[in-house]
Every structure is written in structure tokens, then in C-alpha cells.
């Protein structure tokens, strides 16, 4: 399970710094090598998050636990890295939850379109009992989930036209993540979606294999999609998170002290990562406009019409995922809205 046992009260040499001699490591901490891989690059808030994770783990372990970060899918895409964790060939990855849905259908709650209105609502669900229930499903698949990080609200870019209404999706060839709810939702809107691993997206856009893609602003900016996509439409059609995954094979070999260091670092770096993401998002639209993109807002009325177009998909997948879980999530969102 995810509970950290035997941590006792103190954390030994918890005040050790990165440069501390290895002898100062807290009790129960050995030399460890931790390979962390993500699909995004090091400027992206997720990249900054794993840099923070490295700093924290090395600090808390007195330099004994060494983290090596790999950006831009150099170790592979989300699915491949997740499999590498299951096989014990890689220690950590922080993928979108969406490609995990083929393995654990309940993660599909985060793929239902037009469910969250704000980041705060999403955080309340992710950091509450629904989020924990989903993390608890990972160990039987050889994975340990330590925290949710933020990817965020996804927006549409394309080379055809500004998208304001459901009709505007008509015929747009769209890359989606490898997730059937996304595929079905974009089909319902009249687009022509095709699933593709993240690392292939830029060249697919550049070579016009697809007309568009959808991702949070920070990704559109850090991956320079503005160079190959003239239109950005602020559809905010779905909020998808990242989940911080550790190989269970690796985790089970760690001492309780080492597990505590990993867990604390993943949670602390996650808080930092959400802040970086928030700041990045706040200025991304201006930056992308300055880089030449034509940006359009989508009115509440048109967002509502888009939601109506995908409602059959929401209904279908709410049943498949399990209506109890979906209802529990909706109740959590309502609670967060009243705050």
C-alpha cells in the first residue's frame, strides 16, 4: 500500500544539504539511483517540477539518493515509460492519467469533458478521497502513485480556423492522447481525431498529417506549437492531471525512510509545480499572441453547446467507469464550488 510505516518521529539528518558528505545521510538511507523520465521539456512546468524533485530527494537523503532526469521523451512516451516502471527498468515517470485508462478504466473520470470549471475544483478532487481511491488502484499494476501534479485545462490549436462553436470542429484532423473518451468526444463534435504519442505531435503538425492538437497553454508554448499552428481557441474542454508514478519493483526494495523521502519530495515538488504552472498559464496567452497566434475566447454559451454535443459520450463513459465514482467526484466538485 501507500502508507509509509516505521518513519518514527524524526528524520535523522533531515537538514542535510545537497552538498553534504554522503556520510551525513539519515539512518536507513542507502545509495540509490533514480531515473525520472517525462515527455515534456525542461522549461515546461513539469520539467521544472522534476528538477525540484531531484533537488529535494538529494537534499533529504544527504546526497545518497541520486536522481537523473530525462526530458522530452528521451526514455520514451507515457505508455512506454509506464511499462518500463512495471518491468523495473525505470524508477519514476509523471505521465498524463489519460493513457492509463486502457489499464485502469476509473482514471477516465478525468477525461470526461467539461466537468471542472477551475483548477481549485480539480485540486480538491485530486487531493481528496477520489484521487486517493485512484492511486490505490495502481499497486496491483506494478505502480505506486505518490501525488498528482498539474497538466491542466486543455485548449485547441489548429491550422484551419478559429474554433468558437461546435460546428467549427467539423472535419478538423486532430491529434488526441491515446484515450478512447477523448477520441469519442472529438468525434461527437465532428472532428476527425487520431491518437498519437506526444513526441510525434510537433512533426505531425508541421508535416500536416494532422491539422490540430489540444494541450494546456504551457505545453503549447514550451513545445512551440505556435510555429506550426496559427489558431489557438480557449476551449478549456477538459482538465487532465499528471500522476507521479514509481516502479513498485523499485519501491518495494526501499526502506521506510527512503520511501518517506520519495513521498515527501513528490508532494512538495508537486505543490511547487502547480505554482509554476499557474504563473506560466497567466502569461502564456499574451506570449502566444506576441508569437503570432490568433487567439479566441469561447463564450460560456458556446462552451455549453459543446458540452451538449458531447453529453452522450459523458453518459456512456460515466456508466463504464462506474456511476458511483463519477457521482462521488461530482459531489466533491459541488463542495469545492461552495467554498
Interface ranges with ligand KDG (CB under 6 A) = 38-40, 46, 77-78, 95-96, 151, 177, 198, 215
Strands 173-176 and 65-70, bridge-based pairing: unpaired
CB of 212 to ligand KDG, least distance (A): 12
Name which of 39 and 193 has its Cβ closer to ligand KDG.
39
DSSP of 250-311: HHTTS-HHHHHHHHHHHHHHHHHHHHHHHHHHHHHHHHHHHTT-EEEE--HHHHHHHHHHHH
Name which of 44 and 64 has its Cβ closer to ligand KDG.
44
Name which of 36 and 189 has its Cβ closer to ligand KDG.
36
CB of 101 to ligand KDG, least distance (A): 13
Q: Which helix (H) or strand (E) holds 99?
A: none
Name which of 11 and 222 has its Cβ closer to ligand KDG.
222
CB of 188 to ligand KDG, least distance (A): 20
Name which of 96 and 233 has its Cβ closer to ligand KDG.
96
Distance CA 329, CA 92 (A): 27
Alpha carbon separation from 3 to 93, 179, 251 (Å, rounded): 20, 30, 12
How many other C-beta atoms are found inside a 10 Å radius of the C-beta of residue 276? 19
Strands 212-215 and 173-176, bridge-based pairing: parallel
C-alpha cell at 274: 502547480
CB of 201 to ligand KDG, least distance (A): 7
Residue pair 239/152 in contact by the 8 Å Cβ criterion? yes
CB of 285 to ligand KDG, least distance (A): 18
Surface-to-core class of residue 292, CB atoms within 10 Å of its CB (0-12 exposed, 13-18 middle, 19+ buried): exposed
Distance CA 86, CA 81 (A): 9
Distance CA 208, CA 202 (A): 10
Name which of 182 and 260 has its Cβ closer to ligand KDG.
182
CB of 160 to ligand KDG, least distance (A): 19
Name which of 158 and 215 has its Cβ closer to ligand KDG.
215
CB of 226 to ligand KDG, least distance (A): 16
CB of 37 to ligand KDG, least distance (A): 8
- Residue nearest to ligand KDG as judged by C-beta position: 39
Name which of 95 and 131 has its Cβ closer to ligand KDG.
95
Distance CA 311, CA 287 (A): 34
Amino acid at each position: 500500500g501507500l502508507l509509509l510505516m516505521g518513519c518514527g518521529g524524526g528524520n535523522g539528518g533531515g537538514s542535510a544539504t545537497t552538498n553534504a558528505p554522503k556520510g551525513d545521510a539519515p539512518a536507513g538511507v542507502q545509495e540509490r539511483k533514480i531515473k525520472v523520465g517525462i515527455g515534456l521539456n525542461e522549461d515546461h512546468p513539469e520539467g521544472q517540477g522534476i528538477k525540484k524533485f531531484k533537488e529535494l530527494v538529494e537534499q533529504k537523503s544527504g546526497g545518497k539518493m541520486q536522481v537523473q532526469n530525462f526530458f522530452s521523451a528521451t526514455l520514451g512516451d507515457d505508455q512506454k515509460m509506464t511499462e518500463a516502471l512495471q518491468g523495473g527498468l525505470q524508477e519514476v515517470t509523471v505521465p498524463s492519467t489519460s493513457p492509463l485508462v486502457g489499464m485502469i478504466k476509473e482514471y477516465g473520470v478525468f477525461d470526461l469533458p467539461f466537468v471542472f470549471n477551475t483548477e481549485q475544483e480539480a485540486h480538491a478532487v485530486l487531493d481528496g478521497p477520489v484521487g486517493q481511491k485512484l492511486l490505490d488502484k495502481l499497486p496491483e499494476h506494478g505502480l505506486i502513485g505518490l501525488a498528482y501534479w498539474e497538466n491542466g485545462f486543455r485548449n485547441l490549436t489548429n491550422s484551419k480556423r478559429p474554433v468558437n462553436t461546435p460546428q467549427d470542429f467539423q472535419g478538423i484532423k486532430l491529434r488526441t492522447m491515446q484515450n478512447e473518451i477523448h477520441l469519442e468526444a472529438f468525434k461527437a463534435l465532428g472532428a476527425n481525431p487520431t491518437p498519437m504519442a506526444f513526441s510525434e505531435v510537433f512533426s505531425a503538425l508541421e508535416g500536416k498529417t494532422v491539422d490540430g492538437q489540444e494541450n494546456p497553454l504551457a505545453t503549447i508554448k514550451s513545445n512551440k506549437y505556435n510555429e506550426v499552428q496559427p489558431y489557438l481557441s480557449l476551449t478549456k474542454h477538459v482538465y487532465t492531471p499528471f500522476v507521479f508514478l514509481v516502479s513498485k519493483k523499485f519501491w518495494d526494495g526501499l526502506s521506510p525512510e527512503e520511501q518517506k523521502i520519495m513521498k515527501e519530495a513528490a508532494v512538495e515538488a508537486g505543490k511547487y509545480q502547480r505554482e509554476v504552472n499557474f504563473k506560466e498559464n497567466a502569461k502564456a496567452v499574451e506570449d502566444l499572441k506576441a508569437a503570432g497566434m490568433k487567439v479566441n475566447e469561447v463564450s460560456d454559451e458556446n462552451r455549453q453547446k459543446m458540452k451538449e454535443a458531447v453529453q452522450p459520450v459523458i453518459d456512456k463513459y460515466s456508466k463504464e467507469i462506474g456511476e458511483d465514482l463519477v457521482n462521488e467526484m461530482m459531489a466533491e466538485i459541488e463542495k469545492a464550488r461552495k467554498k
